[in-house]
Every structure is written in structure tokens, then in C-alpha cells.
Amino acid sequence: MAKMAADAKIFVAGHSGLVGSAIMRALRANGYSNLIVGGRSKVDLTRQSEVEAFFESEKPDYVFLAAAKVGGIHANQTFPAEFIYQNMMIAANVIEAAWRNDCEKLLYLGSSCIYPRLAPQPIPESALLTSTLEPTNEPYAIAKIAGLKLCEYYRKQYGFDAISLMPTNLYGPGDNFDLEHSHVIPALMRKAHEAKMMGAPAMVVWGTGAPRREFLHVDDLADAALHLMEHYSEATTINVGVGKDVTIKELVAIICDVVGFEGELEFDTSRPDGTPQKMLDIARLRSIGWTPNIELRDGLATTYAWFLENIDQLRAAE
């Protein structure tokens, strides 16, 4: 397996999202400058003809497929058709066009939430498709599983070097801080911040606080993605996580501490808990020489600093 040449033409699909922007930062930090991006005005990745035309004209050597319709537990339940349709289309269009246009290698991103709801913990890669999915994100999971299988079968039939990663729950700068549709970390960080600013006595946390989640800083994920692009070339997906988890109660305590909110917590149990636990087995990742670097508390502190710097733009965009 060769290192990507310094002048390789690299397409980061989804370059402005949480994951794509972190991959762009990591590529630049590692000296890659021949980076191409799409953006919805240039190429709508859900439209096959647009994707074909884009690949025929750009002919990238490498593709990081980080474009996806994503959201937290409530967004998944509110927009199930959009989650299944957009994610299936993006995966099928980009993987097919990359293969047809002689792309050297493609990296696709799954998600730990596409393992079965009651998978053994920590979750090994072999748990994929062994039992029923978590209902709150089944549409997303079905689409993402199709993407993983596209990579596997394009490798099998055509010898296309497509790999897939299974990241755990991600957070970091560039996240979506919308209160209804985001993931738990940005939602609780914003709630704690707003409660502190307003001098509110309490803030609301969804669910019981009992579910366990594993969180990976997106800069660690980007670092792992570059590492795997250069050191991994197998049909099976590979987990990318930290190998530790926390309860939502423990998470909110750290967030409140980082933000400086000292009020009460109100658990709204009319909101869903989702899957009880999701923690990845990262033995295979460790065996190929990659380990995470960013501790949860440190990552939350830098994410909060980013949030404070960008709060005006975030509000303006709403």
C-alpha cells in the first residue's frame, strides 16, 4: 500500500461538514494541497448525472466520502425518508463514479449506530447485520449499510480499492448546534451555555441519562482516516473509536463543568433514549498502528471555545 503522493488529486465530498472539514484540515496539515471540493451549487451528490459529470471532468485520484445527511436522534425520527434516500443516493452515485473514473482509492464512512441495537459490547466489526437495528435510526442505518456493501462488492467484482470506516459518535468544531436536530454534545453544550447566560435555574436533558455513548473528537477521526487511507485495504469495515464510553449523565456533568453552568438538570423522559449502549471494539484499529489522542474533557473544552468564537455566525445562519 502506497502513501498518497504529495500532489495527489484528492476529492473530499462533504468538505464543509463536521467530518469533511476536519479531513480537509488534516490533509492540509500533512502537506496535501491538490484538494478538490464540490459543494451543493457545483455538484448535488444525490443526482447521478451531476456526479458523473463532476467525476469525468475532475478525475480525482483519491476520494474521502464524508458527505451525508446526518443528525441526532430526533432528526433521524423526523426525516426518515430524507435520511434513507439521500444517503443511499450519495453512496451509490459517488462510489460508482469513482470506480468508473479510475479513482485509485475511496474511503467511505459508516457509523456505530448501524450495528444491531443490542450488539455485544464493545462492538466488534463482526456484529454487523447479525440482528435487529435500533428503530430510531433504522433508515439511516439501512442506507449506510448499503454504502458499506457497495465498497465491499465493488472491491470483490471490480477490484476497486474502496475501504469503509465505522466511526463512533463524533463531536468537535464545525458541529451542528441546533437544539432539536443536532447530536447530544452540541445540543447540551448550547443548552448549558444559554442557561448560564440567562441565569436559568435548570436545563433540560433528553431521556433518562442512563444510555452509554462513546465519543470521538473529529480531529482524531480525520487523523485515523488519513492513516487508514494509507495503511488499510480490506473488504471488511474497521471500527474507529476510543474504546471507552460514558453515560449521558456523566457526559452532561463534564459539559456543565466545561461551560460553567451550575444549575439543576431536568431529565425529560418523554424524549427517547435510543440504543442503551454503543461502544466500539477498536482492537483491529490498534493492531494497524492507530490510537486516539484527544481526551473527552479536553475535546469538549476546545469545542466550547470554538462554539464561543462562532456563536454569532451560528445564530445568523439559523
The 8-class DSSP code of residue 136 comes to: G
In the bound state with ligand GFB, the residue whose beta carbon lies nearer, of 26 and 252, is 252
At its nearest, how many Å lie between ligand GFB and the CB of residue 288?
23
Given candidates 46, 136, 239, 303, which one binds ligand GFB under the rule CB under 6 A?
136
Of 17-25, 205-213, 233-241, 306-314, which part binds ligand GFB (CB under 6 A)? 205-213
Site string for ligand GFB, 258-297 (x = CB under 6 A): -------------xxxx-----------------------
Active-site residue, selected from the candidate residues 108, 115, 140, 154: 140
Q: Tell me how long the chain is.
A: 318
Q: Where are the alpha helices (DSSP H) in 14-119?
A: 18-29, 48-58, 73-78, 80-100
In the bound state with ligand GFB, the residue whose beta carbon lies nearer, of 169 and 239, is 169
Given candidates 69, 117, 183, 212, which one binds ligand GFB under the rule CB under 6 A?
183
Q: Can residue 140 be called a binding residue for ligand GFB (CB under 6 A)?
A: yes
Of 44-52, 120-128, 148-156, 180-188, which part binds ligand GFB (CB under 6 A)? 180-188
At its nearest, how many Å lie between ligand GFB and the CB of residue 8?
30
Q: Which of 61, 62, 66, 40 is nearest to 51 (CA)?
A: 40
Q: Can residue 248 be called a binding residue for ligand GFB (CB under 6 A)?
A: yes
In the bound state with ligand GFB, the residue whose beta carbon lies nearer, of 97 and 216, is 216
Q: How far is residue 61's CA from residue 8's CA, in Å, rounded to a whole number?
A: 6
Contact between 133 and 141 under an 8 Å Cβ cutoff? The reply is yes
The 8-class DSSP code of residue 2 comes to: P
